[in-house]
Structures are given as structure tokens and as C-alpha cells.
């Protein structure tokens, strides 16, 4: 195991910030761990359980994907695969692409991305603002269609592109093993009992689960995915019907729960109105999954459940679900 610095990162980690910060990229990581209360309703139903979420929108690119994007780019540089004459190419549902774009602009690399048309309008505008060469793929094909096109482009012009391939690159989960997990451990003083996270590339779940299990094999790790192949949880994959990322290791999960899109929408609205947290649909789904996990815990048992809020809600404000009527809280209390 690598020695850990006072920041909580291994000393050789590319995510370890310098003192003082030398660039924008040194601000990646060390995001806050926020208590989640839903206006106090969670404490009523679960008096012995604490809920926390990593607020990943505090990364400079606005999402959890800053971590693996930086790791994969630095790894490409160190291996000589990424050189100034090459363009960074990958498939993305949005957030990793934004991270590539931000990091590429900072380091002077061109970026080309394959993005499904179903990605939110805000994500597309952000990518264009960074000057990305954007190739839009059919929305009904989701991230799988973007992956297929990125692979075709790289196969045709391997000398032109650096293709990190976030779905197959071990640097993806390694970034979370070396940064996200140590932060969770440090911020909970080692008290975390459950880790809950959604599956997209699966890098966040696999990296954090591996590291937490090394420190405490009793930590229960629960993965989440959409309940159907057609869903509204951007960035997540319905593994039974999707192209499964090669970095995905289902054996790391003690349980795998399915989340409905409508449930995630409801949770997003409640987080905004009850806790003042404007978060993404995937974050709402992550909390819905955390509550489902809490309901499986015996009432006499204490627990500390940690999940990841991948990004904020500001990239999804054009979505229609914000205008729907308030509903009863997930804990069963009447809407107020």
C-alpha cells in the first residue's frame, strides 16, 4: 500500500494537491462530505443511521469525473501514449467529457468526444464552450453508441488520437481507490459501515469498494443501476442490456439494487426543497439507493451510510421533471 500524505492521498498520486496550488488541477479532490437529512425526515425513520454524500460538484470541472480523467491523462503522459501532437478522444455521457475538456484546456491538449444526443442541453453547451470537437451519436443508443463510434475512430486513426477509454482503463477505478476512498475514510474517522454508489463506468464503485474493504472487510458495499434499459439516469448503465465495462467487477458488491427514474426525480426535488441541495438525477438515485439500504438494516443497529453525489443539478435545469408537483417524501411523510 502506498504511503498516505497528510492530505489523505498517496504521496505519488497525481490527484494530490501541491502547496500552494500551482494550477486549477490541484483543486481536484478533497471534496466535502455532507450530512443528508431531508429536512429531518431521515432521522425520524432512521434514528440510528447517519447518511452522508460526497459533494463532487466541488471539483473544478463540476463532477466526480475530474478524478479519473486527470488520472488517465497523467498516466497517458507518463507512458508516452499522450503527446502534444495527439488529440484526446473518448466516449462520454457528459461529465467525463467535461473533465477532459477542462483538463485538456489547462494542459494544452485538443479534445474530441463522442456524445449521445440524449445528453442534457447544458452538458452540450458546456463542452462547446470549452472548444471540444463534439460528435453527436444517436440518443436511443445511449453511451454504447458513443463507445462504438469512439472505437471506430481510434481504430481508423490510432496515430492521431490518445484514447484513454474510460470504460476499460484501470486508471478510472484506481483514481477512486487512491483518492475518493481515503477521503471517505478520513472524513468519517473510519466509521463508514456502508458504501453505496451507482454504476456507469463502474470506476467509482469498484475503486472505493476495493480500498474500503482493505481497511475494514466488514464495510458493506452496494451497487446501484437503473431498473430498465430505457431510463433517465444519465451516466448510469443497465448492466444486463448494456456494453459492460471491462473494469466492472460485480463480485465487489454485497448487493445490487435497481432504481426507478421516477424515484430519482422525486428525490432530487426533495433534496432541493428540504436540504437546499441542487443535485443531479444520478445523485437523487444514489440517495434513493441509500435509503433502500437503510431499510434493510435491523432497527437496533447503528450505521454510517456514505454515497456519492456525482454532480450538481445545474446541468439538468432544462429537464421537465423540475416542474412536476411535489410528492410525499421518500420516508413516507406527507408532502409539505
Active site residue 302: no
Size of the chain in residues = 336
**With contact defined as beta carbons under 8 Å apart, do 4 and 12 qualify?**
no
Sheet arrangement for strand 303-309: 33-35, 49-55, 303-309, 194-198, 220-226, 255-259
Question: Any idea what DSSP says for residue 335?
Answer: P
Cα angle 195, 198, 202; round to 5? 95
Q: Give me 41's grid cell.
A: 425526515
Q: What is each CA distance from 274 to 19, 36, 42, 221, 283, in whole angstroms?
A: 37, 10, 11, 27, 15
**With contact defined as beta carbons under 8 Å apart, do 246 and 168 qualify?**
yes
> Alpha helix (H) ranges present in 157-260?
170-175, 181-187, 203-215
**With contact defined as beta carbons under 8 Å apart, do 282 and 56 qualify?**
no
Q: Give me 136's grid cell.
A: 453527436
Residue 253, helix vs strand vs coil: coil
Q: Give me 189's grid cell.
A: 474517522
Q: In whole angstroms, what is the distance from residue 251 CA to residue 154 CA?
A: 31
Active site residue 63: no
Catalytically annotated residue among 13, 63, 65, 179: 65
Catalytically annotated residue among 282, 290, 312, 315: 282
Q: Give me 154's grid cell.
A: 481510434
Quick check: bond before 20 cis, omega within 30?
yes
**With contact defined as beta carbons under 8 Å apart, do 292 and 45 qualify?**
no
Residue 104, helix vs strand vs coil: helix
Active-site amino acid positions? 65, 282
Amino acid at each position: 500500500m502506498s504511503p498516505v500524505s497528510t492530505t489523505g492521498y498517496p504521496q505519488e498520486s497525481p490527484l494530490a494537491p501541491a502547496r500552494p496550488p500551482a494550477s486549477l488541477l490541484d483543486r481536484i479532490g478533497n471534496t466535502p462530505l455532507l450530512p443528508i437529512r431531508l429536512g429531518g425526515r431521515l432521522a425520524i425513520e432512521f434514528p440510528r443511521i447517519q447518511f452522508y454524500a460526497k459533494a463532487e460538484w466541488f471539483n473544478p470541472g463540476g463532477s466526480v469525473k475530474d478524478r479519473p480523467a486527470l488520472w488517465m491523462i497523467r498516466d497517458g503522459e507518463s507512458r508516452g501514449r499522450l503527446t502534444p501532437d495527439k488529440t484526446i478522444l473518448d466516449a462520454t455521457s457528459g461529465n467525463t467529457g467535461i473533465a477532459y475538456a477542462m483538463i485538456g484546456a489547462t494542459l494544452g491538449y485538443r479534445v474530441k468526444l463522442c456524445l449521445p444526443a440524449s445528453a442534457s442541453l447544458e452538458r452540450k453547451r458546456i463542452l462547446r464552450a470549452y472548444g471540444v470537437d463534439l460528435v453527436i451519436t444517436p440518443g436511443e443508443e445511449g453511451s454504447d453508441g458513443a463507445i462504438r463510434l469512439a472505437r471506430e475512430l481510434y481504430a481508423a486513426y490510432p496515430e492521431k488520437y490518445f484514447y484513454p477509454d474510460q470504460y476499460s482503463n484501470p486508471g478510472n477505478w484506481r483514481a477512486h481507490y487512491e483518492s475518493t476512498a481515503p477521503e471517505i475514510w478520513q472524513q468519517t474517522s473510519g466509521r463508514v459501515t456502508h458504501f453505496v454508489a451507482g454504476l456507469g463506468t463502474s470506476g467509482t464503485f469498484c475503486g472505493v469498494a476495493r480500498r474500503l474493504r482493505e481497511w475494514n472487510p466488514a464495510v458493506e458495499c452496494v451497487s446501484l443501476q437503473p431498473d430498465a434499459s430505457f431510463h433517465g439516469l444519465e451516466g448510469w448503465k443497465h448492466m444486463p442490456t448494456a456494453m459492460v465495462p471491462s473494469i466492472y467487477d460485480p463480485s465487489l458488491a454485497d448487493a445490487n439494487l435497481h432504481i426507478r427514474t421516477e424515484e430519482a426525480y422525486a428525490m432530487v426535488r426533495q433534496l432541493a426543497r428540504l436540504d437546499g441541495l441542487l443535485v443531479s438525477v444520478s445523485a437523487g438515485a444514489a440517495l434513493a439507493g441509500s435509503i433502500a439500504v437503510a431499510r434493510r438494516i435491523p432497527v437496533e443497529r447503528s450505521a454510517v451510510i456514505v454515497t456519492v453525489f456525482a454532480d450538481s443539478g445545474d446541468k439538468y435545469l432544462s429537464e421537465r421533471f423540475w416542474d412536476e408537483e411535489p410528492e410525499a417524501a421518500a420516508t413516507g411523510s406527507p408532502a409539505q
